[in-house]
Amino acid sequence: MRRSALAVELAPHGITANTLALGTVRTPIDGAFPFDRDASETAYRERIPLGCYSVPDENVGALLLASDAGAYINGARIAVDGGVLAEQMHRMRFICPAAYAAYDAQLCHPLVTGSAQKET
């Protein structure tokens, strides 16, 4: 909800507000966690429609939102998660609408980009 409110409030000033909902990203720090990573990773990967974690380079395209090329994208939530939200969230929406609404509101922090200069 914050994303939508920011998008509407800031749009007249040439500022956009969007959200990236990142899934699990494979990074070098992963090896620092003290648990059986292979077992938990296998179980989790089975729930990702693409069947794998992302790597940082795969998320670079989302910088479109902070570039001039994405200047007309406003109020969007973009899931970069291998299809997890698309596959699982539709179930939650019907099983427990209140939980879905709370999850949707708290999932992401808005990415606000742009300038305060409005073209005339």
Angle in degrees, CA 53, 83, 54, rounded to 5 = 20
| Domain CATH number, residue 40 | 3.40.50.720
37 is a domain residue: yes
62 is a domain residue: yes
94 is a domain residue: yes
Question: How far is it, in rounded angstroms, from Cα 1 to Cα 36?
Answer: 37
Domain assignment of residue 96, given as a range: 2-114
120 is a domain residue: no
Identify the segments of the chain with pLDDT beneath 70: 1, 33-35, 37, 89-96, 99-100, 102-120
pTM over 0.75: no
Q: What are phi and psi of 118, to 5 degrees?
A: -105, 135
Q: What is the DSSP string of 8-46?
A: HHHGGGTEEEEEEEE--B--GGGGGS-S-HHHHHHHHHT
Per residue in 15-33, pLDDT (tens digit) is: 999 988 888 888 887 777 6
CB of 101 closer than 8 Å to CB of 52: no
